[in-house]
A = this chain, B = another copy of it.
Amino acid sequence: MRKPAPPESAGEDKSSDIKTLSRRLKMSAVRPHDSGSGQSHLMYQGRLHGALARQLGVDILRGVYRQGEILPNEIDSSSSLDISRSAYREAIRILAAKGMVESRPKTGTRVTERARWNLLDPEVLGWMFETEPPHDFVKALFELRLITEPAAAELAAQRRTDEQIESMRHSLDIMKRETLQTEAGRRADLEFHHVLIQATDNEALASLSSSIGAAVSWTTRYKARHNALTRDPVPDHERVFEAVAAGDGRAARWCMESLIRMAHEDTERAFQN
């Protein structure tokens, strides 16, 4: 009694998307000359398989395709999207690599259970923030940040090199000048956090934080877009910096904790209006 027939009947809501998907895919696949952003290396820039993976990934995350659901077979999918089977298959491989689908002969390709999705994969996080993400998820993400980042700051304070201090000071100067309203300012913010993480001398922590950091920078854009008046983040950053420079682990931890709480509050407020 598994699932005798795929919920094909109610598929209209899906096929209406599919009609325009092909067009959208090719639109989104054309590389927009690195549209303004500058910071994000999007891994499969402008490639068809990448664009399709992103589209399917977003659809899965938003629940258009649900856990356990079986996607139409390769032939049908690729022909209705008007792309080659190869491109389609490569897109599926990408999603499989992120734990979101699983394919086997005869059975087809099915969406795996949510617990197996690599939610902290940088791209998956990016897809999550393509549209307004669920509040629960944002909350969970900040809760995780609140666990890891202060600890990271503490380690950084103990292990940082003088070079790293210099680099952070430089980024901080740019932030002061540019604020988070400009691309350069946001880049400096990311760079600041990046060097801070490098200073922990812990690869695993670095990998985690850079994923989350990138995702959180999307929320910064949300905030900017929603015109939510956010506090000036520079003083918070400065306090963290001072503590790390002084090698004071306890203080660094505490300041970072406070910085993240602020950021979370700002983000929550942005989502509420």
Q: List residues of chain A with CB under 8 Å of any chain B CB.
A: 41, 43-44, 49, 53, 86, 89-90, 93-94, 96-99, 102, 114-123, 136-137, 140-141, 143-144, 147-148, 151-152, 155, 202-208, 210-211
Contacts and interface: CB of A to CB of B under 8 A. Distances in A.
A96 B204 contact: no
A144 B210 contact: no
A219 to B, nearest CB: 14
Contacts of A93: 49, 90, 93-94, 97
A261 to B, nearest CB: 15
Contacts of A121: 97, 118, 121
B94 A122 contact: no
A207 B97 contact: no
A94 B144 CA distance: 27
A104 to B, nearest CB: 8
Contact of A44 (B44, B96, B207): B96
A97 B97 contact: yes
A126 to B, nearest CB: 12
B120 A210 contact: no
Nearest to A102: B43
Nearest to A121: B118
B120 A207 contact: yes
Contacts of A53: 97
Contacts of A152: 147
Contact of A140 (B90, B99, B202, B211): B202
A96 B114 CA distance: 22
